[in-house]
């Protein structure tokens, strides 16, 4: 199976849906700003999960395409606002929205994506009660994402962040949107509550694993592949699972929170984290979440779409940066 090709087959429909459901209208610059990131591409993993789950439970693309587009717009809304808060000037290899349209323009573009997502979700086909349930799920997901982002900001000024707090934070920032994607696909696809709940958990687990492994990638990937300075999380003092595990075990990280370091100092810090087992600990935990998530797919009958969902789970901890 060519996973990327299978995702592309679904993402083409998502791209067309974005164009149809979020047209460039007046005021033109607002909608150009709102469309900027969605039009720039991205992996489209979350909307593909919506579609694949619907297929796997016996439904079709047509039933869930508005929901898939809605999920993708929510994802892009979070990216627009994250870049403002983090003062990141580059996204997907291009100037961030706030760089091109200013902070006020970017806030409005993000708010437009957020509001349009719910408007588009109401266009999903099927039982109105199921559509209403999905609106409720997506709204609670947006609340959780905001709570997770707030926790992440708070962690910057704390030295006592626990593993449990970190896992809760990444569940809310990253895991819940994957969870909602799978659950919404199941609900609109006509699945039972039992199946929908299991698929929510599948999405939650692989989403958490995705973020944990992202921290691993920051440590183990050569800079020419990573596209940024290796170990930047350490220099920024980010409370990642790797850092929390190391600090809790008395590992000395001289560059932690220092803002900058030489290549030699970074390499030495990464070696220390490898020797202490902190990187392996994070990698192993991510793998365990993926295996548990894949097991939950057994609530569905065997199908090509189910196999692709399993492959997406593996991709979360095998992808290149």
**Tens of pLDDT along 111-147?**
999 999 999 999 999 999 999 999 999 999 999 999 9
Sign of the torsion formed by the C-alpha atoms of 14, 178, 238 and 86: positive
Instruction: Write down the pLDDT at residue 227.
Output: 63
User: pTM of the full predicted structure?
Assistant: 0.95
Helix axes 304-315, 278-296, angle to 10 degrees: 170
Instruction: Write down the pLDDT at residue 163.
Output: 97
Instruction: Write down the pLDDT at residue 321.
Output: 41
- Number of Cβ within 10 Å of residue 141's Cβ equals 22
Residue 280 tokens, joined: 């392996």
**How many angstroms separate the Cα of 184 from the Cα of each of 95, 125, 176?**
32, 12, 12
- Number of Cβ within 10 Å of residue 85's Cβ equals 11
Query: CA nearest 172: which of 134, 137, 212, 143?
Result: 143
Q: How far is CA 318 from the centre of its chain?
A: 15
Superfamily name and number for 3-315: Farnesyl Diphosphate Synthase (1.10.600.10)
Please write down the HEC assignment for all residues of 136-191.
HHHHHHHHHHHHHHHHHHHHCCCCCCCHHHHHHHHHHHHHHHHHHHHHHHHHHCCC
Q: Where are the domains of the chain?
A: 3-315
Contact 72, 38 (CB under 8 A): yes
Query: CA nearest 178: which of 267, 303, 61, 293?
Result: 293
Residue ranges of the chain with per-residue pLDDT less than 70 = 223-228, 319-321
SS3 90: strand
What is the maximum alpha-carbon separation in the chain?
A: 60
Contact 233, 211 (CB under 8 A): no
Instruction: Write down the pLDDT at residue 260.
Output: 87
Residue 25 tokens, joined: 């209208």
* Helices vs. strands in the chain: H and E counts, helices first: 15, 2
**How many angstroms separate the Cα of 83 from the Cα of each of 46, 50, 87, 228?**
20, 26, 6, 16
Instruction: Write down the pLDDT at residue 236.
Output: 87
């Amino acid at each position: 199976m060519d996973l990327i090709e299978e995702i592309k087959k679904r993402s083409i429909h998502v791209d067309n849906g974005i164009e149809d459901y979020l047209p460039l209208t007046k005021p033109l610059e607002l909608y150009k700003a709102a469309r900027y990131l969605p039009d720039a591409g991205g992996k489209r993993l979350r909307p593909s999960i919506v579609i694949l789950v619907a297929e796997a439970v016996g439904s079709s693309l047509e039933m869930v395409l508005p929901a898939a587009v809605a999920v993708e717009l929510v994802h892009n809304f979070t990216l627009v606002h994250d870049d403002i808060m983090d003062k990141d000037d580059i996204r997907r290899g291009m100037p961030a929205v706030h760089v091109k349209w200013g902070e006020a323009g970017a806030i409005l573009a993000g708010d437009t994506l957020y509001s349009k997502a719910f408007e588009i979700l109401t266009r999903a086909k099927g039982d109105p009660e199921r559509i209403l349930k999905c609106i409720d799920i997506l709204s609670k997901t947006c609340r959780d994402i905001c709570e997770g982002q707030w926790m992440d900001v708070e962690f910057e000024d704390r030295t006592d962040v626990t593993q449990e707090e970190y896992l809760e934070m990444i569940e809310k920032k990253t895991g819940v949107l994957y969870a909602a994607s799978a659950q919404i696909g199941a609900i609109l696809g006509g699945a039972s509550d039992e199946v929908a709940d299991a698929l929510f958990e599948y999405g939650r687990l692989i989403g958490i694993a995705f973020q944990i492994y992202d921290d691993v990638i920051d440590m183990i990937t050569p800079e020419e592949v990573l596209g940024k300075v290796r170990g930047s999380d350490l220099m920024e003092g980010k409370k990642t699972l790797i850092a929390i595990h190391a600090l809790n075990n008395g590992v000395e990280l001289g560059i932690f929170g220092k803002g900058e370091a030489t290549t030699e100092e970074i390499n030495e810090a990464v070696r220390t984290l490898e020797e202490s087992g902190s990187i392996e600990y994070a990698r192993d935990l991510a793998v365990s979440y993926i295996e548990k998530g894949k097991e939950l797919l057994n609530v569905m009958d065997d199908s090509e779409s189910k196999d692709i969902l399993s492959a997406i789970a593996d991709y979360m901890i095998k992808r290149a940066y």
